């Protein structure tokens, strides 16, 4: 992703708003921000969601197909090497995430980016490469129900998610299930997600005590599994697709929003955030 650097002007520092430049686009706020305004009537159509995971069983009836499926590995220069993925899902995890997204945003475009092997094995290099491939592919949202505890990958991951943030791509990242230091969910440029134990897929809460920003449904879920079946699971991995899907609904209805604006809408419409102007929670 290109980093366009404005030249220094004689009268203003770089990045400044110049009088002779194109005017800054006016932004009209709609108050109050409600769920109906944010995503009412949206199905996620036109929004591409990359699932960087273990692959996806596209034939599972809960998934309903994917637009593209690749397996990505890091090359010698750490650039992504992608090949068509001819295995439906080597661990099951990605299929569960894909079906959860589809259940909320049925018309979004799903793109499978496999970086994990059997038994959820994988490397930090492949995680970075897979995320880079998804962003270069143009995924507007990347669901990353993965994290690495390897500190040497923190810096390249932060660079990627920061670049994504400023290039209008939203990375929705799962908090680790264990109380350990891991990435990239701890970076402010992602939408970070952990679990709550309620039963409503549209119930999510803002967390005023970071680093986790939002809680979504992630306990005792029946999720799709390769081969057409289902299993019962709990984990932050499965809370994350709920927020990815809601982001897809928002962007399908308001395609010009930036990641900052989408995150602000998530905050404004969270179940535990009330607005005296509307008199009730969204």
Is residue 178 in some structural domain? yes
Query: What pLDDT, in 10s, does the model give residues 205-234?
Result: 999 999 999 999 999 999 999 999 999 999
Mean pLDDT of the chain: 92
Task: Give Dmax over CA atoms of the chain in angstroms.
Answer: 65
Q: Specify the range with the lowest mean pLDDT, choosing from 95-99, 120-124, 178-182, 241-245.
A: 120-124
- The CATH number covering residue 99 comes to 3.40.50.200
* pLDDT for res 17: 74
Is residue 228 in some structural domain? yes
* pLDDT for res 120: 82
* pLDDT for res 190: 98
Is residue 137 in some structural domain? yes
- Name the domain count of the chain: 1
What's the CA gap between 86 and 230, in Å, rounded? 22
Q: Which domain holds residue 66?
A: 44-269
The residue length of the chain stands at 282
Q: What is the CA radius of gyration of the chain?
A: 19
* pLDDT for res 186: 97
Q: Is the pLDDT of residue 279 over 50?
A: no
Contacts 24+ apart (CB under 8 A), 79-87: 79/129, 79/132, 80/129, 80/130, 80/132, 80/133, 80/136, 81/129, 82/133, 85/55, 85/112, 85/114, 87/55, 87/114
Query: What pLDDT, in 10s, does the model give residues 44-63?
Result: 999 999 999 999 999 999 99
Is residue 133 in some structural domain? yes
The confidence band for 177, taking pLDDT boundaries of 50, 70 and 90, is very high
For residue 11, give every residue at least 6 positions away whose Cβ sits within 8 Å of its Cβ, in sequence order, or none: none
Contacts 24+ apart (CB under 8 A), 270-279: 270/204, 270/205, 270/206, 270/214, 271/203, 271/204, 271/205, 272/205, 272/206, 273/206, 275/32, 275/33, 277/31, 277/32, 278/32, 278/34
The whole-number average pLDDT for the span 175-188 is 97
* pLDDT for res 153: 98
Work out whether the CA dihedral 59, 64, 65, 66 comes out positive or negative: negative
The confidence band for 7, taking pLDDT boundaries of 50, 70 and 90, is low
The whole-number average pLDDT for the span 139-149 is 97
Give buried/exposed letters for 212-224 (b at 16+ CB in 10 A, else e). Answer: bbbbbbbeebebb
* pLDDT for res 91: 94
Query: What pLDDT, in 10s, does the model give residues 78-120?
Result: 999 999 999 889 999 999 999 999 999 999 999 999 999 988 8
Is residue 34 in some structural domain? no
Is residue 4 in some structural domain? no
Burial (CB < 10 A; 0-12, 13-18, 19+), residue 251, is buried
Which residue matches tokens 């270069």? Answer: 136
* pLDDT for res 32: 83
Is residue 152 in some structural domain? yes
Is residue 112 in some structural domain? yes
The whole-number average pLDDT for the span 181-198 is 97
Helix count and strand count (H, E) for the chain = 6, 11
Q: Is the pLDDT of residue 278 over 60?
A: no
The helix or strand, by DSSP H or E, that contains position 95, with its residue range, turns out to be helix 93-104
């Amino acid at each position: 992703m290109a980093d366009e650097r404005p030249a220094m002007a004689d009268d203003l520092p770089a990045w400044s708003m110049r009088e002779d430049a194109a005017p800054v686009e006016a932004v009209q706020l709609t108050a109050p921000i409600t769920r109906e305004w944010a995503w009412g009537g949206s199905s996620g159509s036109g929004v591409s969601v990359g699932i960087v995971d273990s692959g996806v069983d596209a034939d599972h009836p809960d998934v309903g197909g994917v637009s593209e499926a690749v397996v990505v590995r890091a090359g010698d220069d750490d650039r992504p090497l992608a090949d068509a993925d001819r295995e439906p899902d080597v661990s099951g995890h990605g299929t569960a995430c894909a079906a959860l997204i589809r259940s909320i945003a049925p018309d979004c475009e799903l793109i499978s980016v496999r970086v994990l092997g059997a038994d959820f094995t994988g490397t930090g290099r492949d995680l970075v490469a897979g995320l880079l491939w998804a962003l270069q592919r143009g995924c507007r949202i990347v669901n990353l129900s993965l994290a690495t505890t390897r500190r040497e990958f923190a810096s390249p991951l932060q660079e990627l998610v920061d670049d994504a943030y400023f290039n209008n791509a939203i990375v929705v990242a799962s908090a680790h299930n264990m109380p350990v230091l891991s990435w990239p969910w701890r970076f402010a440029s992602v939408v970070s997600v952990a679990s709550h134990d309620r039963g409503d897929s549209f119930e999510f809460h803002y967390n005023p005590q970071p680093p986790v920003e939002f809680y979504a449904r992630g306990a005792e879920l029946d999720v799709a599994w390769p081969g057409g079946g289902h299993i019962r699971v709990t984990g932050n991995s499965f809370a994350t697709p709920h927020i990815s899907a809601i982001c897809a609904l928002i962007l399908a209805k308001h395609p010009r929003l930036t990641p900052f604006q989408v995150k602000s809408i998530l905050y404004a419409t969270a179940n535990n955030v009330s607005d005296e102007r509307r008199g009730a929670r969204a």
